């Protein structure tokens, strides 16, 4: 685990631990998770890999409180998970922005506080993903990578303590994906949230995560630490220049 290398979060919330115990989840005759155990430390970055249909999204939906296990239990921050929590945010392959809301309103959606406070939080989050100048745009004029940045800002604006990422970069071109990997790593370091990334890209898993967990036949089949020094996503000046274009 590389958590010791991270600077302590300042005003940001600390990440929460996640404990999954003997979780079973099936859909009719289809048994997907068959007694899955997984423990994630506060602030850790864990990647989940496995073949298509093995239950990665099912697990993330359970962690996000969008679904409940048939049997078994999930604790977040040592507390049994009972449903949606503002501290736990999900991000998907599609940005899922509301097309009839401008970028800033998409990010401000569901934030606590009065209108001015929500707007300030939205603009701050957009600044963190490098899109402060696109706040007044409609989502449809943004590129795929920019839409995912907005989705990331929407999650960040809630100051999440757990960020669940379900193949968030899967639909992006290679260059945009590298830029987004760098952004996610930077934000994880700065904010200190616990990150769970589902990806089918093993190099992405190795680049970002402290640990790579393989799910197979409904259980954790492999759980390997990534013993590579950070930063693994290189801050190459050329990539930074290209990043500004995407």
Residues of this chain that bind ligand ADP (CB under 6 A)? 27, 30, 32, 50, 52-58
Cβ distance to Mg ion smaller for residue 49 or 108: 49
Q: Is 64 helix (H, G, I), strand (E, B) or coil?
A: coil
Cβ distance to ligand ADP smaller for residue 12 or 171: 171
Cβ distance to ligand ADP smaller for residue 12 or 34: 34
Q: Which residue is nearest to Mg ion (CB)?
A: 57
Structure token digits, residue 234: 């290189």
**Which of ligand ADP, Mg ion, none does 58 bind, CB closer than 5 to 8 A by kind?**
ligand ADP
**Which of Mg ion, ligand ADP, none does 176 bind, CB closer than 5 to 8 A by kind?**
none
Residue spans of beta strands (DSSP E) within the chain: 18-27, 30-40, 45-49, 71-76, 79-80, 88-91, 162-166, 194-198, 211-216, 219-225
Q: How far is CA 44 from the centre of its chain?
A: 12
**Which of ligand ADP, Mg ion, none does 91 bind, CB closer than 5 to 8 A by kind?**
none
**Which of Mg ion, ligand ADP, none does 100 bind, CB closer than 5 to 8 A by kind?**
none
Cβ distance to ligand ADP smaller for residue 53 or 78: 53
**Which of ligand ADP, Mg ion, none does 168 bind, CB closer than 5 to 8 A by kind?**
none
The secondary structure of residue 236, as a DSSP letter, is -
Q: What φ, ψ does residue 114 adopt, rounded to 5°?
A: -80, 175
What's the closest the beta carbon of residue 54 comes to ligand ADP, in angstroms?
4
What's the closest the beta carbon of residue 147 comes to ligand ADP, in angstroms?
21
Structure token digits, residue 76: 């977040």
DSSP-assigned letters across all residues of 162-195: EEEEESTTTTS-HHHHHHHHHHHHHHHHHH--EE
What's the closest the beta carbon of residue 79 comes to ligand ADP, in angstroms?
24
Cβ distance to Mg ion smaller for residue 103 or 197: 197
* Chain positions contacting Mg ion, by CB under 5 A: 56-57
What's the closest the beta carbon of residue 19 comes to ligand ADP, in angstroms?
20
Cβ distance to ligand ADP smaller for residue 62 or 108: 62
Q: How far is CA 122 from the centre of its chain?
A: 18
What's the closest the beta carbon of residue 85 comes to ligand ADP, in angstroms?
21
Structure token digits, residue 164: 């669940």
Cβ-contact 84, 90 below 8 angstroms: no
**Which of Mg ion, ligand ADP, none does 52 bind, CB closer than 5 to 8 A by kind?**
ligand ADP
- Strand ordering across the sheet containing 219-225: 88-91, 162-166, 194-198, 45-49, 211-216, 219-225
What's the closest the beta carbon of residue 196 comes to ligand ADP, in angstroms?
13
Residue with tokens 């998409």: 106
């Amino acid at each position: 685990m590389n958590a010791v290398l991270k600077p302590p979060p300042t005003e940001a919330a600390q990440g929460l631990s996640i404990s999954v115990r003997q979780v079973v989840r099936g859909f009719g005759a289809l048994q997907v998770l068959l007694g899955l155990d997984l423990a994630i430390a506060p602030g850790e970055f864990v990647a989940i890999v496995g073949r298509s249909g093995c239950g990665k999204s099912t697990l993330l939906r359970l962690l996000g409180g969008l679904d409940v296990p048939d049997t078994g239990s999930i604790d977040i921050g040592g507390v049994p998970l009972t449903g949606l929590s503002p501290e736990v945010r999900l991000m998907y392959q599609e940005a899922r922005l509301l097309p009839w809301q401008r970028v800033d309103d998409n990010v401000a959606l569901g934030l606590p506080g009065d209108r001015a406070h929500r707007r300030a939080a939205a603009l701050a989050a957009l600044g963190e993903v490098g899109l402060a100048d696109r706040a007044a745009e409609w989502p449809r004029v943004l590129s795929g990578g920019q839409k995912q940045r907005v989705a990331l800002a929407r999650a960040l604006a809630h100051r999440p303590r757990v960020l669940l990422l379900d193949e968030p970069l899967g639909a992006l071109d290679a260059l945009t994906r590298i830029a987004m990997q760098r952004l996610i790593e930077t934000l994880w370091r700065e904010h200190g949230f616990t990150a769970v990334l589902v990806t089918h890209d093993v190099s992405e898993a190795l680049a970002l995560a402290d640990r790579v967990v393989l799910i197979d036949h409904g259980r954790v089949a492999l759980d390997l630490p990534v013993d590579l020094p950070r930063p693994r996503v290189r801050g190459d000046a050329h990539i930074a220049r290209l990043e500004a274009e995407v």
